[in-house]
Structure 1
Amino acid sequence: MAITRGRSRSRLTVAAILMVAVSFLVDACGGAGGGDGAKAGTATAPAAHFQVSSMLKPSGRALGVVDDKTPWQYGIVTAFAKEAGRAPDIREYYSSWGDDFDTEGNAFLWQHGQLPMMALVPSDTSLADIAKGKDDAYIRRLAGQIAAYDGPLALSFAGEMNGPWNSWGPQHTEPADFVASWKHVHDIFTARGVTNVIWVWTPHVVDSGTTAKLRPYYPGNAYVDWVGLIGYYGPIDGVAFSSLFTPTLRQIAGFSGKPVLIAETGVAQSNRKEAQIRDLFLGARKAGVIGLIWYDQRKNWPGSKQLMDWRISTSVGALAAFQVESARNSFGHSFKNG
């Protein structure tokens, strides 16, 4: 879904600042080549202490919330918790390519029970340039900042890569450039000992607006931990789980066996909202997804000026349906305890 992402300079802890300084000195002394970040800095960059290995195959189903605010803007979490009847397990937010990682903000989320999920958006950056190593200094800095955070982070890079409305989508960028850039970023993180990232490959569901085949965009099982799907019950394609998500799930099953997270979804206000909320939770449970992240905002439908209301509180019936169906289908899993 096309969402306006604001740029914000994140706060850095002392540890993260020291990490940047070390990275700068390594680069200045020629210890890390501009185009070979995957081999650079393995001896100088301290590894993350947090290990996400135990989190990669969760036994329960998480319930999350997403919006375009920073981790410090915690109101979306408290409001969602009040309306949904429980606190979210995942808090997803957007960060623009070139922005520093908000170490303290993400630590705040994790300390309060939310797994942070960062959607890293390369709006003004060429994926081909990323793959060629032109932004390696930034990638190394970001890797160091995330490692210093010492908590888990779900990371979605260049999501909705099959969406033509994105500058990195079809008609703008070749699938091979997406795969090469993803692998390049991943390799640099690995080389620098980052062990606290869950890599989430996040396409939009295949529908009338996103007809591109997904297989050419897949970096491979060695580079992906979770598959994240983005899809909305809206005025065009989103009618039922069987037509909105199932065809894409079947396509992905042909080349990936990774756990599936519905990384962004919502149900637009209409006279069918209550029934569609029931359909969403039931369908997600039957499909065996590991979680569902709700976009609890009002937003124009992509490509139009039609304002859609995705909030769970648009009516008493919608709110009740969300509370009842999320509980009935066992959505609510603490990553801190499992």
Structure 2
Amino acid sequence: MATARHRSRLTVAALLMAAVCLSASACGGAGDGDGTEQGRATAAPAHFRVSSMLRPSGRALGVVDDKTPWQYGIVTAFTRETGRAPDIREYYSSWGDDFDPEGNAFLWKHGRLPMMALVPSDTSLADIAKGADDAYIHRLADQIAAYDGPLALSFAGEMNGPWNSWGPGHSGSADFVAAWKHVHDLFAARGVTNVIWVWTPHVVDTGSTAPLHPYYPGDAYVDWVGLIGYYGPIDGTAFSTLFAPTLRQIAHFSGKPVLIAETGVAQGKDKEAHIRDLFQGAARAGVIGIVWYDQRKDWPGSDQLMDWRIGTSTGALAAFQVESARNGFGHSFRSG
């Protein structure tokens, strides 16, 4: 009789525990299934999701240079000169390099949306598309997914520029699209939800004449369109001729938000006027932000060294400060 009563109490206890588990959904999902605090503590954290960031409500200001996320000097200098910290911090990473979770987390913690331009200099797009570097893509995807924050990712930017080893004359548009889709699909298969995919052609001009539509992977593979173009002595004299023709071309096949992902105004007698024109034209065009290359750099496709920095003159700096504020540039992604 004692044995029977003991079994009866066990049965009742088991039924009560099952009811609690069902009502609280506490059994069999999180942790290792044993229903203990230790089991629940080992549950994998939810990955950051960028879905709420894909249609920004404001216009961002950003800065880009060839330093790592930890080299914070460009952010400090930009803040000091413009009177406002950048909303986007873009940097370059070579194909094969590991992702820096701490550096990117530092940027996000301090209000900067990290943007990584992934440059496939030492490999071919065709090989990427065929799976030759899948081990690296898997590793990179896992590293980015484990970082608890968003990342804007530009892969093989300026793919329409013949000066790049992955541009016309080296790789075709079909190779680029196949490589982009392959990288995107492998990220999706690894459960990556914290990447904003930024397709970044160079503006169509005398140096990059290839039609853009064949290079477009499709709306399902792109979150933002990012344009690269500079005001200078060759093609960049006004927004209407530098960016507007490319914007019209893109509007025929994509309605994604447009970010000017890399730009600058060369030092010269018209720098102040060009800065005013850039911000006014970008605001009229409805772009979601401007990322400034605040460095000295060769003109794209040539060895002509230009000074793109904001503070090359008092007038240029004042024009940047006044026009960026007047046209509503400055949007914190952390505010939602």
Please provide the CA RMSD for this pair.
0.9
**Superposed displacement of residue 300, structure 1:** 1.8
**Superposed displacement of residue 150, structure 1:** 1.5
Mark the runs of 5 or more structure 1 residues left unpaired by the alignment.
Answer: 1-45
What are the residue-to-residue correspondences of 1:134-213 with 2, within 5 Å?
Answer: 134-213=132-211
What residue number does 1:215 align with? 213
Cα 1:218–1:48 change in 2 (3 A) is farther
**Superposed displacement of residue 169, structure 1:** 0.3
- Give the Cα separation in 1 of the matches to 2:45 and 2:281: 40
Summarize deviations over 1:317-337 as a string: whole Å, max 9, x none: 000000000000010000000
What residue number does 1:290 align with? 288
What residue number does 1:92 align with? 90
**Superposed displacement of residue 306, structure 1:** 2.1
What residue number does 1:335 align with? 333
**Superposed displacement of residue 64, structure 1:** 0.1
**Superposed displacement of residue 307, structure 1:** 1.6
What are the residue-to-residue correspondences of 1:35-74 with 2, within 5 Å?
Answer: 49-74=47-72
**Superposed displacement of residue 49, structure 1:** 1.1
- Give the Cα separation in 2 of the matches to 1:295 and 1:270: 16
Of Structure 1 and Structure 2, which has the larger fraction of its residues in helix? 2
What residue identity is the alignment partner of 1:327?
A
What residue identity is the alignment partner of 1:235?
P
State which structure, 1 or 2, has the greater radius of gyration over its C-alpha atoms: 2
Q: SS at the partner of 1:142?
A: helix
Q: SS at the partner of 1:177?
A: helix
> For 1:261, which of 259, 262, 272 is the aligned residue?
259
Tell whether the 8 Å contact from 1:233 to 1:240 is kept in structure 2 after alignment: yes
* Higher relative contact order structure (alpha carbons within 8 Å, sequence separation ≥ 6): 1
What residue identity is the alignment partner of 2:171?
T
Q: SS at the partner of 1:336?
A: helix
Residue 249 (str. 1) matches residue 240 (str. 2): no
Summarize deviations over 1:85-134 as a string: whole Å, max 9, x none: 10000000000000000000000000010000000000011100000001
Tell whether the 8 Å contact from 1:298 to 1:308 is kept in structure 2 after alignment: yes
Query: TM-score normalised to the size of structure 2?
Result: 0.86
Tell whether the 8 Å contact from 1:155 to 1:199 is kept in structure 2 after alignment: yes
What residue identity is the alignment partner of 1:193?
G
What residue identity is the alignment partner of 1:108?
F
Tell whether the 8 Å contact from 2:207 to 2:301 is kept in structure 1 after alignment: no
